[in-house]
Amino acid sequence: MRVLMYYNNRDVRTEEMPVPQIGTGELLVRVFASGICGSDVMEWYRIKKAPRVLGHEITGEIVEVGDGVNKYKKGDRVFVSHHVPCNNCYYCLNGSHTACETLHRTNYDPGGFAEYIRIPQINVDRGVYLLPEDMSYEEGTFIEPLACVVRGQRLARLKAGQTVIVIGSGISGLIHIALARALGAGRIIATDINEYRLEAAKRFGADAVINAKDDVRKRLIELNENRLADLVIVCAGALAASTTALNCIDHGGTGLFFAVPEPGIMVPVPMNDMWRNEITLMTSYGASPLDLEVALNLLRNRRVVLKDMITHRLSFKEGGLGFQLVAEAKESIKVILEPQRKE
């Protein structure tokens, strides 16, 4: 079978690997759509394990069922979560599933940028979701990224009527905008340095946009009736995004760091101001099974519609282009690879 082998952001090759052999309790899934996540092009994060097959936003069809699997059958259309928790450790039992060590170790084989993947028994048990009949494979690739956003806004306790500012209008920022709109946010403001993405932010639910090259705090106050934001969501890894966010949180507000700078970069926090104004700073990582269920239902019931964010549908032969588009972060939003597409 063909896979996309990642060496670095500028070197992604189509290579051949054997189709994985499944065992008891496992599934073999033929991949039909696989989204390129922003984390796939975070080179500092990925290159230390290169070469490897990346990809974790997949949908496909079950083509082989291992002994002992009764819940699924050949021909089922599915989304599969790559990371699953143990559900038994201290962190899981206290609702912090994405801090679970099992979640960080689990994955499918070899990775989502492959024609076929083996789903291990633990993922079969708690990470396979049947796609609704009217949901396309490509729309299903949004389940995982939406679930991550669901978790972030749930932990940040977004309330109807609040003012939200999203720092960074790439795909994660746009999904945050769409979900905040669905959850009843009062005013949503988006920032970015790219005009293409600012226009996209307006299309997907932002009431106003600010070019991040401008004085974001000043413009936010002007747009928000002389107030800062109740919830600031950071969706860009640049240090400037984090420092801007700290200057935009209103008294009693929350800063959600959905994206963070790379290791070794320290963010200067005006702790006295945070204390004096009772500001909450928090992070969010990944998605739990609950978040995935919520995301699937939001998409199924059309509470959140994301499929129009897809700007590129590429074959494996164009995989290098796909990584380039996502890494450059210019005129693309969601890039989908289709392993079964004829070239």
Domain CATH number, residue 187:
3.40.50.720
HSE-up (13 A, CA, CB side) for residue 234: 28
Please tell me the predicted confidence (pLDDT) of residue 44: 80
The average pLDDT across 251-273 equals 96
How far apart CA 144 and CA 273 sit, in angstroms, is 35
221 in a domain, yes or no?
yes
In a shared domain, residues 194 and 89:
no
Sign of CA pseudo-dihedral 192, 194, 199, 204? negative
Q: Which helix (H) or strand (E) holds 173?
A: helix 171-182
In a shared domain, residues 302 and 266:
no
Please tell me the predicted confidence (pLDDT) of residue 265: 95
**What integer best gives the mean pLDDT of the chain?**
96
Place of tokens 């897809």: 310
**Are 199 and 333 in contact, with CB atoms under 8 Å apart?**
no
Tokens of 119: 């789903």
Cα–Cα nearest to 191, from 158, 213, 222, 223: 213
**Are 321 and 314 in contact, with CB atoms under 8 Å apart?**
yes
- Residue 88's domain is classified under what CATH number? 3.90.180.10
The average pLDDT across 206-232 equals 98
Tokens of 221: 């106050």
**Are 46 and 6 in contact, with CB atoms under 8 Å apart?**
yes
pLDDT tens digit sequence for 145-159: 999 999 999 999 999
Residue 341 pLDDT exceeds 90: no
The average pLDDT across 77-94 equals 98
In a shared domain, residues 279 and 295:
no
Please tell me the predicted confidence (pLDDT) of residue 321: 96
User: Within 234-318, where are the H helices?
Assistant: 239-246, 271-276, 289-300
In a shared domain, residues 229 and 248:
yes
**Total tally of structural domains belonging to the chain:** 2
The pTM of the full predicted model, rounded to 2 decimals, is: 0.96
343 in a domain, yes or no?
no
In a shared domain, residues 266 and 332:
no
Residue 49 pLDDT exceeds 90: no
What band does 47 get if pLDDT is binned at 50, 70 and 90? confident
pLDDT tens digit sequence for 133-143: 999 999 999 99
In a shared domain, residues 134 and 193:
no
Residue 176 pLDDT exceeds 80: yes
Residue 48 pLDDT exceeds 90: no
Residue 342 pLDDT exceeds 80: no
152 in a domain, yes or no?
no
In a shared domain, residues 164 and 31:
no
Please tell me the predicted confidence (pLDDT) of residue 289: 96
Please tell me the predicted confidence (pLDDT) of residue 56: 96
In a shared domain, residues 15 and 140:
yes
342 in a domain, yes or no?
no
Range of the domain at 307: 2-146+287-337
Report residue 151: phi and psi, to 5°: -60, -45
